[in-house]
Structure formats: structure tokens, C-alpha cells
Chains A and B, each alone.
Chain A
Amino acid sequence: MARAAEVPGLGMLAVFSDPLSPELARTLDLGGYRWKALASADEASDAEPGTGWSGAVVDCSVDSESGWAFARALRKRDSVGLPLLVLVTGAQLSDLALRDELFDDFCLSPFHPTELESRVRHLLWRIDGGTRPEMVEYGELGLNLETYQAYISGRPLDLTYMEYELLKFLAQNPGKVFTREILLSRVWGYEYYGGARTVDVHIRRLRAKLGEEHAGLIQTVRSVGYRFGQSRWGH
């Protein structure tokens, strides 16, 4: 399914070699990455951005020796472990066995753009503290912000988009009281067809879906608005 490209952070990828193959350039561009083509490890040092490289893609398929040298140099310099992916041909697969410490992932070249893009994304995500998807949790309620899925006591909650957005906003701000107007402007974000009564309607639908047991997660604060979870003063 075609999806809009997501730009993972603002980091810059170090890419060997220079010039790099047009397929590789296109794949990285379509994936929404910022990258710099580098001919040598020295160049990688000189061109390194202030925040450091966020990852490296090393194409060994054309010039295997320079490629591995580049990878080794980056590894030596950066003991923290820069996420590094190598591209190798089928004939070079045996090289991998001897160089386990030099890469975090690899991809066969010629590569399928979707595979490479997906591997790069996972690599950055995994290393960048992204071992688990971004979650909002409160008691037995969980919202996975990456998959848009909500759970209560382990069972999935089937929400419409606006119900999900409303619950997400509330769960991200537990204990705070919001007026209908604030909720409308923060969640709906524009002069909505229904006016602030829309908020009431959605709150009721959310409560219905949360079920009797959990409906109390969203409390009505009389003549003010709504509050998610316990108040910060414990009543």
C-alpha cells in the first residue's frame, strides 16, 4: 500500500560510494532520507554534521575492498555504534561471515527498493532507542501511536479516527480538565461542523466503547468539561 514517505528524524546518512548508484540515490530520496555520498572514510570525517551521522549505508557491490575499508574506518572511529548497512552481491555473501562486527544489517544487491528502504528504516529505528513503538499508557489503556491501535485490558478497542484522536489527547494529558472548546480546537483543530456539542457526542461514544468497567476513565467535570483519569489531587 502506497504511503507518504516518513522522514525519520532530521539526521544525515553517510553513504559510500561517491558517486553512488542512481538506484540507491533514488531509493534513499523516495524514503525521505537526507544523505551524503562519500568516497572515503576521511571524507566522512570532514563532512560529518555537527550532530554526527545518524547512520551509514555502504555499497560494497562495486568495489568490495574500499567498501569494507570504509565500514571498518567508521566503526573504529565511532565506538558507540553507528547503525550501518552494507550492500553486497550474491557472490560476496561469504565476505559477511568474516566481518560480523562491521555491519548491523545487509541487503543483497541488486536490491528491491522497498526492501532496502524498509531495512534502513528498521535499522535506524532499532538503534535510535526505538526498540518499542511509541505508546501512551494509562492503567489498562494503551494507545500505539504508530499503528493507531488502542487497547483496554488487552482487548483491542475499535475506534473511529476522531474517537482515537480524542482519546489520545486525553490520555496524553491525564488528570487535567479540558473544556469542550479546548478539546474541539486541540483535537478537531478547526471550526467543526457540529460545534462543541460534537465533543459530548464523541465522549459518549468513547465511553460506550470503553465499556461499563472503564467508562469512568473519562469523567465529566460539571459545567467545565472533561477529565481523563484521576485528578491530580486524588479525587
Chain B
Amino acid sequence: MSEMLDQHRDYVLRTVEERGVRLVRLWFTDVLGNLKSFAISPAELENALQDGMTFDGSSIDGFSRVQESDVLAIPDPNTFEILPWGGKDAAEARVFCDIHRLDGSPFEGDPRQVLRRHMKAAHDQGFTFYVAPDIEFFYFETPETGKVPVPLDNGGYFDLTTNDATGDLRKQTIRKLEQMGIPVEYSFHEDSPSQQEIDLRHTDALTMADSVMTFRLIVKEVAASQGVYATFMPKPLEGVQGSGMHVHLSMFQGDTNAFYSEDDPYNLSPIAKSFMAGLLRHAAEITAITNQTVNSYKRLVPGFEAPVHISWARNNRSGLIRVPVPKRANPLATRIEYRSPDPACNPYLAFSLMLAAGMRGIEQGYELPDEADANLFEIGDDVLAKLGIEQLPQSLSDALRVMERSELAREALGEHIFEWFLRNKRDEWRGYKTHVSNFELDRYLRSL
């Protein structure tokens, strides 16, 4: 294993030399999922790969408390990639880092370490966790403060017309993604004006969380280079669909898809069912992480193809979990789709909590409730209540209240992130609650 690591490091150092890399960017993520970066010269890289680079973490959201502010960023040589926008003579590269304490132990404020811990725990039980997100986002003209964002086109779902001014942007983005080793499965114009969807091919969850971070940067970079703006804000426009990040999940035991069963009418194994039951039972508790902004909850409303109710079905897009029918009944493609997350989440933490909730279901042998195949948007709340179908939290405040009481969320995130996240997000909610909006002014100022 360590010999492998040495070869990895050698390879990275040699590539830096051969490709004339001038700058190596060390990437990591704060607790809220913002990409952070500092650059080192190639001369420092060998040392960085060996011993890590120390930096002051106290100014990173959710990192150290001031008295123990220094942390260590250790590059993961697996993630070394040349960035597709450096010039020929000034190539730049990036490498993701794991954050450690100075004594070498994993730093508990680092979301990547949290996901690593969960992947390892699943692996210890023989599982590898694979994910594939469908990421939606909008292009807008460069925003002006206080103005409603202006879409670039009025295209709709799958549109291929001159209306789709954004097709070119999408094409360039995909080329850059592929150069960075992020294969794309589908891409198309989504339902709303100027809204795009790009579906990534599945990888293990840690690689995918890195890919999502890279994806968001590339989408924004390409847009900026064309003088427009890309946003992953969950609901930027009123009255049309928001942007989600549906996540397709599967678990493998060796080469076998642990979610597949030939005998089951749904082709779902008992493991898949318990995993789904875990996700459903703990869905409300993890929603503050999968949907972490005030704005997220303006997407999770009836009528816009976003889930509102905690239920599952095979082909019902109003439920929280959908079980897609695999092409050609391929057992390897058996998976479930978790539909509430939005692309503004921290992918490391969101994947961690999905995995933790599902694993809890497997460990405790949860029973999967019945499929809810009716369109839940059309059923009254009283009927749903009778069926035992609950709703997802309705606001960030609701979600935080549920999360706060969740032993699963506390354990899965670790005390450090759990506490910091709740504190930070309560603050956000307080800011929102005390803000007097245009809605109120328009509605009340004259009439009251």
C-alpha cells in the first residue's frame, strides 16, 4: 500500500516536471461546501505530498477554534489533475487535500474526512457505496443587485432549437469536465428557461464528491469566460422549477450489486429495501444537510417535480425515493434515486448522511413501507396522514429542529461539524426571519 503511495507521489512529481506545471493548487472544502484553495510552487510539492502543508484554519468556516487554529493539508495524489484552463507555458494543477491535525490524526472539521470515515465503515462491512448525481443549474446574464435574474433563453425540456443559446456553453463545459476525468452521461436543457442538467456517471462516493466540487467550479468558470453567470441556487426564479441534485445510489459487495435481487418483483434485495427504509426513516433528520439554505425550501414545494413527501415508488417522481427500472434489466444498474438534495449542498456531508441513514437501515433491519404510487401532489394531507406518509421539513428552521434531535446526524457528522453547522445555520435563519421582504412591502405597506 505504501509502495503504491510512493509510486503515486513519484508519478505526480514527474508529471509536474514534464508538463511544466508552475502552480499546484491545494483544494479542500469548508463545512458549507465552499471550495477553498491555496497554491504552492512545484518545488514545495514533494514536501507537501510527504508531510502536508500547515495553514491557519481559524478563518475557514467550520474549521478550528482559535486556540488550536493550525491544521495540516495533505494532498491526495489520486486526485492530481492538470487544470484545463492553464496556458501551455503556465500549466496549473489541482490536488484535493485531506485535512489533519498537527499530530497527524484526521481533522474532524474536514468534510472529506467525514465521508472517508463513512466509506471506510461501509467497506468494513463489505460494501462500496456508488453515487451518480444529476445536477441542475441555471445560466443568467451577469446579475445586478436587487434585480430578478435574467435567463439567457426561453428553452424548455430537451429543447434543441436556436432558443437553446446555452447549448454551446454546455458543450464547452462537458469538454472541460471530460478533460478532468469527469465523464458525463447525459446533458440537456431542463424544463425552466436557461436551466441545464448534466448527469455524471457513477463513481465511488468520495471520488464523486470531489467531482461535484470540480463540476461546480468548471460550470462557473466556463460561464464567466463567456460573460454570463451560472448558479446552483436551488430556486432562483419564482414560478418555475428549481435546481435539484437527484442522487442515484447503489452498493456493491465485490462485483455484485447488493441492491439487486432476481426473485423480488421490484428486483430489490433485502439490503436495498432496508437501505431505503433507513433513508426514509431518517430523511427529515438529514434534510438540513442535503438542503442547507433558506432558499432550498422554496424548491421543495408541490407542483414543481421536487419531492415533498417521504415516500418511495418505482415510477412516481413526486416521491422522495424513486426506483428507476434499469435498462435491459441489467442487475448492475439497479439503483435508487434520492430526489431531495439540491446542488448547493456540501456533497461530502450529503453523501455521508445518505450513506449513514441507509446503513442504519441495513444494520437494524428496517422494514420498507409500501410503495406510494399515486401522485402525492394530488392527495389531501389528511389522506396522506392516514397512510402514514409524512412531509419533508418545510423550512430551514424546521429542518434544523429535526436535525438537532437526531442522534444519527450527530454521530454521522461528528460533534464538531454538528455543533458548528447548527450554530451557523440558525444564524442564517435568524437573518432571514428578521428581513423585511419585497413580498411583505408589496402586500402590506399600502393595505395595512
In angstroms, Cα B80 to Cα A184, docked, is 21
In angstroms, Cα B11 to Cα A41, docked, is 43
- Shortest beta-carbon distance, A180 to chain B, in Å? 7
Interface string of A169-203 (1 = CB under 8 A from B): 00000000000110000000110011111100100
Contact of A158 with B by CB under 8 A: yes
**Residues of chain B within 8 A of A193, CB atoms compared:** 119, 123, 128, 204
Q: Which residue of A lies closest to B91 (CB)?
A: A158
Contact of A130 with B by CB under 8 A: no
Interface string of A1-15 (1 = CB under 8 A from B): 111000000000000
Contact of B14 with A by CB under 8 A: yes
Q: Given the interface contacts A190-B1, A195-B255, A197-B252, does A209 sit within 8 Å of B181 by beta carbon?
A: yes
Q: Given the interface contacts A161-B8, A194-B128, A195-B254, does A205 sit within 8 Å of B15 by beta carbon?
A: no
Q: Indicate if the CB atoms of B255 and A209 lie closer than 8 Å.
A: no
Q: Indicate if the CB atoms of B201 and A158 lie closer than 8 Å.
A: no
Q: Indicate if the CB atoms of A160 and B254 lie closer than 8 Å.
A: no
Q: Which residue of B lies closest to A162 (CB)?
A: B78
Q: Which residue of A lies closest to B79 (CB)?
A: A160
Contact of B130 with A by CB under 8 A: yes
Selected contact of A161 from candidates B1, B77, B207, CB within 8 Å: B77
In angstroms, Cα B254 to Cα A149, docked, is 32
Contact of B141 with A by CB under 8 A: no
In angstroms, Cα B128 to Cα A189, docked, is 18
Contact of A164 with B by CB under 8 A: yes
Q: Indicate if the CB atoms of A160 and B178 lie closer than 8 Å.
A: no
**Residues of chain A within 8 A of B130, CB atoms compared:** 197
Contact of B12 with A by CB under 8 A: yes
Q: Indicate if the CB atoms of B15 and A149 lie closer than 8 Å.
A: yes
- Shortest beta-carbon distance, B83 to chain A, in Å? 9
Selected contact of B255 from candidates A1, A163, A180, A205, CB within 8 Å: A180
**Residues of chain A within 8 A of B82, CB atoms compared:** 158
Contact of A208 with B by CB under 8 A: yes
Contact of B295 with A by CB under 8 A: no
Q: Given the interface contacts A195-B255, A197-B128, A197-B252, does A148 sit within 8 Å of B18 by beta carbon?
A: yes
Contact of A153 with B by CB under 8 A: no
Contact of B19 with A by CB under 8 A: yes
Contact of A126 with B by CB under 8 A: no
Selected contact of A209 from candidates B7, B15, B178, B201, CB within 8 Å: B178
Selected contact of A156 from candidates B13, B19, B178, CB within 8 Å: B19
Q: Indicate if the CB atoms of B128 and A201 lie closer than 8 Å.
A: no
**Residues of chain B within 8 A of A158, CB atoms compared:** 15, 19, 81-82, 179
Contact of B23 with A by CB under 8 A: no
Q: Indicate if the CB atoms of B183 and A208 lie closer than 8 Å.
A: yes
Q: Which residue of B lies closest to A206 (CB)?
A: B181
Interface set, chain B 163-221, CB cutoff 8 A to A: 177-179, 181-184, 201-204, 207
- Shortest beta-carbon distance, B14 to chain A, in Å? 5
Q: Indicate if the CB atoms of B183 and A1 lie closer than 8 Å.
A: no
Q: Indicate if the CB atoms of B11 and A148 lie closer than 8 Å.
A: yes
In angstroms, Cα B177 to Cα A145, docked, is 26
Contact of A207 with B by CB under 8 A: yes
Contact of A99 with B by CB under 8 A: no
Interface string of A108-145 (1 = CB under 8 A from B): 00000000000000000000000000000000000000
**Could you write out 6 A-B pairs with CB less than 8 Å apart?**
A148-B18, A158-B82, A160-B78, A208-B177, A208-B184, A209-B178
A-B complex: 4 closest residue pairs judged by Cβ atoms: A208-B178, A158-B82, A161-B11, A205-B181
